[in-house]
Amino acid sequence: MSTLQLSPEELARYLDHTLLAVDATDAAVEQLCADGVAYSVAAVCVSPTKVPVAVRTVDGRLPVAAVCGFPSGAHPSKAKVADATHAVDAGASEIDMVVNLGLVADGRWDEVEADIAAVRASVPSPALLKVIIESAILSDDQIVECCRRAETAGADYVKTSTGFHAAGGADEHAVRLMADTVGGRLGVKASGGIRTTQAALTMIEAGATRIGTSSTAAILSG
């Protein structure tokens, strides 16, 4: 159990308030964004087609993040580039992309890196690029190499999970390993199954600098 103590206002600044349900309506995204503004979270995170709704609703008061190649990562790099470019052109300032997990499993690391680099080139700084590695299905060695390749390709963050994989989401061990690997040079986003204050604090104590969650209200009221 974490011994870290943060006020709700301090904790909110770690949170990416997220809605990625496939049947999310414009009204639901508008509510997400209104809540995100009220909570003063780090960002709101939505699907690419919902970026215009989110940008209009937050009206410059919060960053908007969009996912890319989500949730499988098994998209051609050109498709991921199109996803990311569409989102940034629509007003997103952060992109959360999924690595090609088949390439990871095959150990084709140069291709993994090239896939990330293609998205990075399409959405250069100051846009933030977060790389989702689906840590629950990876060995420690694979987690470390994913983080190294993401850094070399120019990512700003590494991220544990989509929250959509049957293997599960973030855990303390993976977050700590990722944080140790990037050594503060990149941020670490923990996501997937983080629904309580204690879970969020545990991830932050392990090294997470962002938390992706759809349970913001519960976390902040815990």
Active-site amino acid positions: 96, 159, 189
61, amino acid identity: R
Distance CA 88, CA 111 (A): 24
Cα 152 → chain centroid: 18
Q: Among candidates 186, 177, 184, 181, which has minimal Cα distance to 156?
A: 186
Q: Which residues pair with 17 in a beta bridge?
A: 44, 213
Q: Among candidates 141, 134, 122, which has minimal Cα distance to 181?
A: 141
Distance CA 170, CA 184 (A): 19
CA angle, residues 127, 133, 136, in degrees to nearest 5: 145
Q: Among candidates 130, 194, 200, 134, which has minimal Cα distance to 165?
A: 134
